[in-house]
Amino acid sequence: MKRLLLGLGLAGLLAWLIALHSNLGGKTMAPLRFPTYPPALALEMMALGNKELASTLIFYNAQFYFGEKYAWRKEEPEYQRLFAGLDKATDLDPRNMDCYYFAQGLFSDIKPAIPVLNRLLKKGLESRPTDWYLPFFLSANYYFQLKDPVTAAHYLQKAAALNPDNALFASLSARMLYQGNQTEAAVLYLRAFIKETNNPSVQKLLLKRLYALEAIHYLEQAVATFTTQHNRPPRTLAELIHAGIIKKIPADPYGGTFEFDATGRVVTTSKLAEAWKDHDKRDHNQQAQ
Amino acid sequence: MALHPTFMIGYYTFKGGLRDRLVQSLLLTGLFFLLSTLVFSSFSMRQPLEVAINYSLATVQILTILVTLFLGLNLLSREIESRAGYLVMGQPISRTVYLLGKFCGLCLLSLLVVSFLGLCAAGGLLLVKLGLKDTPAIAWGNFFVAHIGIWMISLLLGAVTLLFTALATSAVLPFLMTIGVWFIGQSTQAVKNYLEAGLGEQQMPRFLNWLVTGSFYCFPNLSLFDFKTYAIYGLALPPLAVGYAMAYGTIYTMILLVLATTLFQHRDMT
Amino acid sequence: MTSAITTSRLSKSYKKGVRRQQVAALANLDIEVQQGEVFGFIGSNGAGKSTTIKILMGLIKPTDGQAWLFGQQASAPAARARVGYLSEHPHFYDFLTPVELLRLLGAMRQMPQQDIRQQTEKLLGLVSLSEAADRKIRGFSKGMVQRLGIAAALLDDPDLLILDEPMSGLDPLGRHLVATIIRDLQQQGKTIFFSTHIIPDIETLCDRVGILVRGQQKYVGSIQEALYPAGNRFEITVRMPEQWRPEQGILAPHHLLWHKESLYKFEIAETDISSIAQGVIASNGSIVTLEPKRRSLEELFLDLSGHSEPTTERTLASPAP
């Protein structure tokens, strides 16, 4: 009888602890940091002849880290460290397509990251010369971020030659080169990219971007209609509602509001570019203060 | 049927290995790991099949080498250190026959281990492939050659254990030293490539450079037997590389055996 | 006929410790064991018995001197063809059963399958292990392993048996069993060379013994001569009439060990035996026992250690061809 009571008492205590833990929520969690990996040579030596596996493990770590940090904890991922990890993973196994795909998904919208991202993709292209994704990614980065349609077209042709049955390239290159509608091309590119992913957190990130792009596309079309009707561009987005062209301004998935920039283009208030910063340096500065 | 004593010793070493609890548990672990291929590969975004091949080959390699190391410890080093070796050496056979017999048994055991794990890996890969659409074909030929490479590594390390056993008077020392050779042998090529690429010239003192070059020629270069990349990505296998690796492995192993038997001749079995 | 075992100035020294000091385990051993002889090799622990046996079995190399088995260099594998060997604390592949173990050993000796099977059955019966024939050696007791070792040594019907402490680890029954086996083998004309530190075994079994003290050969010859050397003292027990007193008569100068009722025990010298016997009979007494005073092994070793020069039976002729 005594033992039974003791057992029940302990069970009750455990239940209380579990309840307490879920109430505490994230407060008891240790901060999540992405590791800084040793140099690729050291990693290769530690892998004991299994560098492909080491590469996959780094990628998995990056993927799981991103999932927890971005989708679950809703914290800002340490993008530079993530990139450094993926860079080392592709040094170990330059054929690891997961890394390139993940890197493109994560960094293609962060303008300051584009030079290093393109370098990473070119490393992949060297080892995977028959993979159409890599020139496809490069083409998108050159076109949307670096505003270099000539190089973009060169890579797009390469991608099309590797995958001649895909209709995507024709419509994409038509929009990129002849109609000059960047937003429409970007939506098309992003849809093609999202179709290929099976990682929920990456999908979440990309869908957010897609919604923003679609909203911008929608607003741009409204601006074009306004301009033809009134022979002048609208001064504010609110004018579009007054003119009865749209019912309301769509919400910015990044939490801000859509507005016109200095050249009159619709932009979001997304601060994505700021996410590309050196966390180590920032930590250091914080400590110094 | 009267077998040569070498093969008799080999056969009984083989038997001993099969009845070794440690080996049995390592094989069970291997089975578990190969089944986990299904889970492991599912996390890949773009190349689940490649990851599955990669993971199962790595499992086969690590486990085969571990089994070889422990078999070397239990069936070679421990036997010679304990008095069990007296029984065999008290027979009218030479020590060379004894040592070669032991090595034969070890070869047979690691062949069995690598085939068993390889078959399990192949089964796991077929399962993974069943659950996937539009995957490239698995390069079974390369997969097979990768296993031969793994077997070669385990034979080489077995011969290394044999050499150290012939020299050392403790059982654990050869085991640890073989692990050392394994670590070094897996990385000499990478370090040498790194140095030759001119990346490390600034930081590296000259003597370190010599050390690396020295160990490259002295220690077995185990990266030569790594055909995993070809199997994972279905790349065309260069026949010259395979042939060279096989010749290198065979000659290196034979040199180790000659050294081991020569040294063992002059050893006191105290 | 060549000798079964011949050694000539056989020496072995080890380097020990950090300073690599030379420690002599065996120095200048000269023995010759004839075929058909039972030779006991005696010495305390660490006297060099096992070292000698390991040299004979080719397990270790002598630092100096040579050893031959049936005229062949002991280091050559072929020399062991006619030899059965039992090591001290034998250690077998414990994953095997006795039957498998004997099959392996038989195969290594290139014995025909038929013979291996017959011998296995016979020998496992002889050392009473028939019931454990198919059990893993892993579960065997120390005595069972020792007996299996004897069966393994006898497998190929060897002409020479080299047994290192065959009695160790055995219970009295096992010891009796081994003694019986050795006697049987002696009758079959086999040569047996065994080391031991148990004196009663030697007395009953050996034709000759060699005694080692700290690596030095101190004695080679008959065990009786070693234990009861010339000039040895005797113990005599006599039954005397009631009125007889030890202070009177011929026994008066001798040392009285004990007396109970009419029984008296004296310590006497060998030379006095006949005169005492006559005196006892003259006093109407009778002799109950007369036995040599036996030296203990410890006394023997102490005695031998005292000598600076080894006592050899004879100098060896030139070693076997």
Q: What is the mean pLDDT of residues A266-287?
A: 57
**Which residues lie below 8 Å from residue C194, measured CB to CB, with a gap of 6+?**
C38, C39, C40, C41, C161, C162, C163, C164, C165, C166, C182
C99 touching chain B per CB within 8 A: no
Number of domains forming the structure of chain B = 1
**Is the residue at C9 inside a domain?**
yes
pLDDT at B203: 63
Residue C199 and residue C215 in one domain: yes
Residue C269 and residue C211 in one domain: no
Is B46's CB within 8 Å of A98's CB?
yes
Residue C110 and residue C247 in one domain: no
- Nearest Cα neighbor of C163 from C93, C84, C106, C102 is C84
Q: Please write the tens of the pLDDT for every residue from A150-182.
A: 788 888 888 888 877 776 776 676 666 554 567
Residue C254 and residue C175 in one domain: no
Q: What is the mean pLDDT of residues A187-196?
A: 78
Residue C202 and residue C240 in one domain: no
Residue C253 and residue C106 in one domain: no
**Which residues lie below 8 Å from residue A222, measured CB to CB, with a gap of 6+?**
A240, A245, A246
Using a CB-CB cut-off of 8 Å, the residues of chain A touching B191 are 41, 45
E strands, chain A, are 259-260, 266-267
**Which residues lie below 8 Å from residue C206, measured CB to CB, with a gap of 6+?**
C38, C39, C40, C223
Low-confidence residues in chain C, pLDDT < 70: 1, 229-231, 295-298, 301-302, 305-321
Strand C255-260 versus strand C38-43 pairing type: unpaired
pLDDT at A176: 66
User: Is it the case that residue B118 has pLDDT exceeding 90?
Assistant: yes
The domain in which residue C213 lies consists of: 5-228
Tell me the nearest-neighbour CA distance from A186 into chain B, angstroms: 22
pLDDT at C310: 44
Tell me the nearest-neighbour CA distance from A99 into chain B, angstroms: 9
Whether the CB-CB separation of C70 and C2 falls below 8 Å is answered with yes
Is C93's CB within 8 Å of B12's CB?
yes
Using a CB-CB cut-off of 8 Å, the residues of chain C touching B86 are 57, 59, 85, 87, 90-91
pLDDT at C298: 64
Provide the pLDDT confidence category of residue B64 given band limits of 50, 70 and 90: very high
Q: Is the backbone of residue B198 left (phi > 0), alpha (psi -120 to 50) or beta?
A: left
User: Is it the case that residue A288 has pLDDT exceeding 60?
Assistant: no
Residue C67 and residue C28 in one domain: yes
pLDDT at B147: 95
Q: Please write the tens of the pLDDT for every residue from A237-267.
A: 788 888 888 888 888 777 777 777 766 677 7
| Domain edges within chain A | 35-124, 130-196, 214-289
Domain termination residue (choose one: C228, C259, C282): C228
Using a CB-CB cut-off of 8 Å, the residues of chain A touching B139 are none
Strand C160-164 versus strand C83-86 pairing type: parallel
Using a CB-CB cut-off of 8 Å, the residues of chain A touching B183 are 45, 48
Substitution target from A46, A51, A206 for chain B, most B beta carbons within 10 A: A51
Considering only the C-alpha atoms of chain C, give the largest distance between any 2 of them, rounded to a whole number of Å.
77
C96 touching chain B per CB within 8 A: yes
Whether the CB-CB separation of C227 and C40 falls below 8 Å is answered with no
User: Is it the case that residue B3 has pLDDT exceeding 70?
Assistant: no
The rounded distance, in Å, linking the Cα atoms of B136 and A48 is 28
Residue B268 has its nearest CB partner, among C60, C80, C88, at C60
Q: Helix, strand or coil for residue C71?
A: coil
Residue C12 and residue C114 in one domain: yes
pLDDT at A265: 72
Beta bridge partners of C264: C238, C259
DSSP string, C84-96: EEE-SS----TTS
Distance of CA A285 to the CA centre of its chain: 27
Q: Please write the tens of the pLDDT for every residue from B130-175.
A: 888 777 888 899 999 999 999 999 999 999 999 998 888 788 899 9
Residue C83 and residue C52 in one domain: yes
Q: Considering only alpha carbons, which residue of chain B is nearest residue C79?
A: B92
Residue C106 and residue C186 in one domain: yes
The rounded distance, in Å, linking the Cα atoms of B42 and B132 is 10
Using a CB-CB cut-off of 8 Å, the residues of chain B touching C58 are 89
Residue C179 and residue C253 in one domain: no
B235 touching chain C per CB within 8 A: no
pLDDT at A286: 47
Name the more confident of A64 and B133: A64
Tell me the nearest-neighbour CA distance from A137 into chain B, angstroms: 14
Number of domains forming the structure of chain C = 2
- DSSP conformation class of A277: S
Residue C59 has its nearest CB partner, among B92, B94, B269, at B269
Q: Which of A199-208, A277-286, B153-162, C98-107 has the highest mean pLDDT?
A: B153-162
Q: Give the ipTM.
A: 0.83
Whether the CB-CB separation of A197 and A105 falls below 8 Å is answered with yes
**Is the residue at B218 inside a domain?**
yes
Tell me the nearest-neighbour CA distance from A95 into chain B, angstroms: 8
DSSP string, chain B: ----HHHHHHHHHHHHHHT-HHHHHHHHHHHHHHHTHHHHHTT-SS-HHHHHHHHHHHHHHHHHHHHHHHHIIIIIIHHHHSTHHHHHHTSS--HHHHHHHHHHHHHHHHHHHHHHHHHHHHHHHHHHHHT-SSPPPP-HHHHHHHHHHHHHHHHHHHHHHHHHHHH-SSSHHHHHHHHHHHHHHHHHHHHHHHHHTTSSTTTS-HHHHHHHHHHHHHS--GGGG--HHHHHHTPPPPHHHHHHHHHHHHHHHHHHHHHHHHHHHT----
Provide the pLDDT confidence category of residue B65 given band limits of 50, 70 and 90: very high
pLDDT at C309: 42
Is B5's CB within 8 Å of C107's CB?
yes
C54 touching chain B per CB within 8 A: yes
Cα C207 to Cα A156, C141, C189, C203, C283, distances in angstroms: 102, 32, 13, 9, 41
Q: What is the mean pLDDT of residues B96-104?
A: 90
pLDDT at A175: 66
Residue C168 and residue C263 in one domain: no
Domain termination residue (choose one: C228, C249, C264): C228
**Is the residue at C20 inside a domain?**
yes
Percentage, residues of chain A above pLDDT 70:
84
**Is the residue at B184 inside a domain?**
yes
Kindly state the tokens that stand for A77.
């991922």
Among B residues 56-115, those touching chain C with beta carbons less than 8 Å apart? 79, 82-84, 86-94, 97
B210 touching chain C per CB within 8 A: no
The domain in which residue B112 lies consists of: 5-265
Average pLDDT of chain B to the nearest whole number? 86
**Is the residue at B114 inside a domain?**
yes
**Is the residue at B124 inside a domain?**
yes
